[in-house]
Chains A and B, each alone.
Chain A
Amino acid sequence: MVMKRAYLLGNHAVAYGLVEGGLQAAFAYPGTPSSEITEKLASLAEQYRFYVEWSINEKVALETAYGVALSGRRAAAIMKHVGLNVAADPLMTAAYTGVVGGLVIVVADDPGIHSSQNEQDSRQYALFAKLPCFEPASPQEALEMVKFSFAFSEKISQPVIIRLVTRLAHGKAAVTLGQRIELSQSTTGFKKEPSRWVMVPANARQAHRRLNETQKVVAEAMEELEFNYFQPGEEGLVIASGLTWFYVREVFAKQENNWSLVKIGTYPLPEKLLAKALKRAKKVLVVEEGEPVVEQWVERLLCKINPGATVHGKEDGCLPREGEVSVELVEKAVNQLAGKQMNPKPVPPSLLPRSPVLCPGCPHRASLHLLKKVFGRKAIFPGDIGCYTLGVNIGAIDTCLCMGAGLSTGAGLARLEPDRPVVAIIGDSTFFHAGIPALINATYNQAELVVAILDNRTTAMTGHQPHPGIGYTATGEKTTEIDLEKLCQACGAKQVIILDPYQVAESLSVLKQLKDQPGVRVIIFRRACILLEKTHHRFEITLDEDKCQGCQVCFYLGCPAIEWVNNRPVINNSCTGCGLCVAFCPHQALNKYEKNS
Chain B
Amino acid sequence: MKKTVDIVICGVGGQGIILVSDLLGEACVKAGLPVTGSETHGMAQRGGSVEAHIRMGGVFGPKVPLQQADLLLALEPLEAARFSLYLRAEGLAIVNLAPIKPITQKTTYPQQSELLALVKKTGANMIADDFTCYARKIGSEKILNVLMVGVASPFLPVGFDCLREALKTVVREKFWKINEQALQWGRDYCQRIFSPQGEQGRDHA
Q: Which residues of A contact B (CB under 8 A)?
A: 5-7, 9, 32-33, 36, 114-115, 138, 167-168, 170-174, 243, 246-247, 249-250, 253, 326-328, 331, 345-349, 351-359, 387, 390, 393, 461-463, 558-564, 572
Contacts and interface: CB of A to CB of B under 8 A. Distances in A.
A327 B36 CA distance: 14
Given A7-B22, A354-B49, A327 B61 contact: yes
B39 A170 contact: yes
A115 B54 CA distance: 21
A171 B54 CA distance: 9
B37 A352 contact: no
A359 B46 contact: yes
A346 B89 CA distance: 12
A41 to B, nearest CB: 17
B60 A253 contact: yes
Given A352-B78, A354-B78, A387 B38 contact: no
Contacts of B63: 167, 326-327
B139 interface: no
B194 interface: no
24 contacts: A6-B26, A7-B26, A32-B43, A33-B41, A114-B43, A138-B36, A167-B62, A167-B63, A172-B21, A172-B35, A246-B61, A247-B60, A249-B60, A327-B60, A327-B61, A346-B67, A349-B84, A352-B107, A354-B49, A356-B45, A356-B48, A357-B46, A462-B42, A560-B103
Given A346-B66, A461-B43, A462-B42, A243 B61 contact: yes
A247 B45 contact: no
A136 to B, nearest CB: 12
A242 B5 CA distance: 24
A252 to B, nearest CB: 10
Contact of B47 (A250, A345, A351, A354): A354
B58 to A, nearest CB: 8
B34 A352 contact: no
A382 B109 CA distance: 33
A258 B12 CA distance: 41
Given A171-B36, A355-B48, 6 more contacts: A168-B62, A170-B38, A172-B38, A558-B104, A560-B103, A560-B104
B29 A563 contact: no
A173 B42 contact: no
A115 B39 CA distance: 13
A348 B85 CA distance: 7
Contacts of B103: 357, 559-563, 572
Given A170-B38, A174-B28, A352-B105, A115 B82 contact: no
A174 B104 contact: no
Contacts of B118: 349
Contacts of B54: 172
Contact of B44 (A9, A115, A246, A351): A115
Contacts of B43: 32, 114-115, 356, 461
B65 interface: yes
A328 B65 contact: yes
B25 interface: yes
B109 to A, nearest CB: 7
Contacts of A563: 101, 103
Contacts of B12: 354
B79 interface: yes
Given A355-B48, A356-B44, A250 B62 contact: no
Minimum-distance CB pairs A-B, first 10: A7-B25, A115-B42, A32-B42, A171-B62, A356-B46, A246-B61, A356-B48, A115-B43, A250-B60, A172-B37
Interface residues on B, range: 35 or more
A390 B62 contact: no
A243 B106 CA distance: 40
B191 interface: no
Nearest to B62: A171
B40 A170 contact: yes
Nearest to A10: B62
A230 B2 CA distance: 29
A36 B21 CA distance: 16
B110 interface: yes
Contacts of A346: 66-67, 85
Contacts of A174: 25, 28-29, 33-35
Contacts of A390: 46
B21 to A, nearest CB: 7
Given A327-B65, A349-B84, A353-B105, A114 B42 contact: yes
Contacts of A357: 46-48, 103-104
Contact of A352 (B33, B65, B102): B102
A170 B13 CA distance: 16
A438 B35 CA distance: 47
A393 B104 contact: yes
A480 B118 CA distance: 56
Nearest to B25: A7
A462 B85 CA distance: 30
B36 A172 contact: yes
Contacts of A168: 62
B82 A349 contact: yes
B79 A354 contact: yes
Nearest to A463: B41
B81 interface: yes
